[in-house]
Amino acid sequence: MPELPDVEGFRRVLAAHAVGKRIEDVVVLDDGVLRGVGARRLREELRNQRFAEPRRLGKWLIAPVDGGPVVVLHFGMTGSFDWAPGADERRKHDRVIFVFGDGELRYRDMRKLQGLRLVDGDAELERLLADTGPDALAVSRDRFRELLDGRRQLKALLTDQSVLAGLGNLLVDEILWRAKLNPHVPAASLDAEVVDALHREMRKVLRSAVKAERVPPRTSWLTGRRDEPSGSCPRCGTTLEHGRVGGRGTVWCPRCQPG
C-alpha cells in the first residue's frame, strides 16, 4: 500500500519528467478512478497546459497546472504513478495517461479505491484537504506532542490520516518497533520524553524510507521480517506477534514492545 515514501517517489517522478512540458493529451482508459470530474472535462482542462512544481501532503500528490486547475491524486491501496517512454506497452491497470512529446505519465491502480480529482484553485484544494492532519515528515516535535494527547491506542492514532498524514501499517509498525512501544498502548499514557523519542524514531524511519521511495524490506527492519511465516524480531530474535489494532493488521515483538 503506498505510504508517504512511495508518494514522495511519485512526486519526484512527476517533477523530473513532466514539469514545464506541454501536456499533449490526456487519455482516460477507465473513468472509475475519476472523482468529481468527467473524462471530457479533464482532457479539455489539461490538454496543452503544463504542470508546475508538484508537492505532497501525506499520501496526497498535488500537481498544480500553470495558471489553471490543480490535479490531486490519491493512490489508495494499489496505486502508482510511473513514467514510460511513449513506445512502452501500457499495462492492464493503467487508468489515466498524461501524454507528452517524449513519454507518458501513467496513473495505475488495480483496486480503484481512491483516484484523481481536479480542483479549481487553492480555496477548493483547502476544502478537499481540510480533514487531513499535518504531514508526518514535516510535523514539529511540539505539534507531535499535542497530537498524541488522547486515550486511543497508539497504532490507531498514528494511522489516522486526520491526525497525522502519511503513515500506514508498515511505517507505524516499524516506527513503534524502533521506539520499543506496544501498538495497543493508549497515547495519553506516554510521558513527554517517550513522545519525543517516538518523534525522533519516526523522522529517522521516514528519512530512510523516503530515500528508498518505499518502506524497504531490509532484514534489519521489522518490515523485512513481518511477512515470514515464523518471523522473528531482528533485534532480539523473539517470534513476532500478529494481531489487529483499530481494524488493521499489526505486527510487534512481545519482548521488545511489552504491552
Residue 59 is among the residues annotated as catalytic for this protein: yes
Provide the grid cell at 94: 493503467
- Return the closest-CA partner of residue 33 out of 118, 90, 105, 100: 118
Residue 204 is among the residues annotated as catalytic for this protein: no
Neighbours of 77 (CB within 10 A): 13
- Three-class SS state of 114: coil
Instruction: Say which of 11, 59, 95, 178 is annotated catalytic.
Output: 59
**Count of alpha carbons within 13 angstroms of residue 140, beta-carbon side:** 3
Instruction: Say which of 50, 145, 248, 255 is annotated catalytic.
Output: 248
- Three-class SS state of 103: strand
Give the number of residues written for the chain.
259
Which distant-in-sequence residues (6+ apart) come within 8 Å of 4 by Cβ? 56, 58, 59, 135, 136, 137, 165, 166, 167, 171, 206, 209, 210
Residue 248 is among the residues annotated as catalytic for this protein: yes
Catalytic residues: 2-3, 59, 248
